[in-house]
Amino acid sequence: MLYFIGLGLADEKDITVKGLEIVKRAERVYLEAYTAILLVQKDQLEAFYGRPVIVADREMVESQSEDILKDAKDVDVAFLVVGDPFGATTHTDLLLRARSISIPTRTIPNASILTGIGATGLSLYNFGQTISMVFFTDEWKPTSFYPRLKENISTGLHTLVLLDIKVKEPDLELLAQRGKVEYLPPRYMSVAECAQQLVDVEEDLKEGVCGVDALAVGVARVGAEDMRIVAGTLGELRNQDLGRPLHSLVLIGRRGHDLERDFLEELAVDKEKFKKIWDENYGKQV
């Protein structure tokens, strides 16, 4: 059987007991290593699991899935995913490939950022569509997320923004010059970078969606002992350093509840400013 096993958000101990039992008996164990990362290194996972772990990068999962699926009709294979197994569509594709060749599959769920974001005090019932923010370049500044963000804002709903991760990205300039494949150092978008890009897009499109005075929450390392949560305007958050990855951002919807305000006020960059903007523009039924 092919098992899809969620690892949770922080470290090697976030795996469920059921998931750990499967890992210990599986013939092969793969760790998906490009849609998200744990906050510990692979060797810590191996020490805790008591067995070797094969890192599965994007190329392996998307183009060499036959290596993962090999013999999975006859032996147990574990495919480990940070967070919950189906927070990324790539893993759905792998399951469908297994199903197409009659390999049995089973899913072991775990916490993901989609549920862990409740640590901000914002009600999960008040979230709209989740969006992703990629790194902008001088030549490429996509705004395809903006209509979905605007739709959430128009109905007063919070928006979870998932921030870009660049892992094992080829150096295209070097490839063009020398025909040699080398990989760039990993990059992880910060809350500050995301807030700045949101403000930049608003300055271009000017539809009142994500300007400097829009309230937001920046989070880092959800579920870890050193988790950080900071509330404020996008203008304030673009100057905040929340430390090492992974980061996420929530743009607060205007029909937020007073309990959400009370929770976040204590975590605000400027408590008085946060409360003033909230009382004037938020907590309203849209």
* Residue 9, marked binder: yes
* Residue 222, marked binder: yes
* Residue 184, marked binder: no
* Residue 65, marked binder: no
Rg (CA), the chain: 21
* Residue 77, marked binder: no
Compute the distance between CA of residue 116 and CA of residue 20 in angstroms, rounded to an integer: 21
Compute the distance between CA of residue 235 and CA of residue 245 in angstroms, rounded to an integer: 21
Q: In what order do the strands lie in the sheet with 215-220?
A: 131-133, 159-163, 247-251, 215-220, 228-233
Do 191 and 162 form a contact (C-beta atoms < 8 A)? Answer: no
Q: CB neighbours of 228 closer than 8 A, spacing ≥ 6?
A: 218, 219, 220, 221, 242, 243
* Residue 247, marked binder: yes
Compute the distance between CA of residue 173 and CA of residue 121 in angstroms, rounded to an integer: 44
Compute the distance between CA of residue 183 and CA of residue 169 in angstroms, rounded to an integer: 5
* Residue 113, marked binder: yes
* Residue 163, marked binder: yes
Binding residues: 9, 84, 87, 112-113, 163, 222, 247
Binding residues for S-adenosyl-L-methionine: 9, 84, 87, 112-113, 163, 222, 247
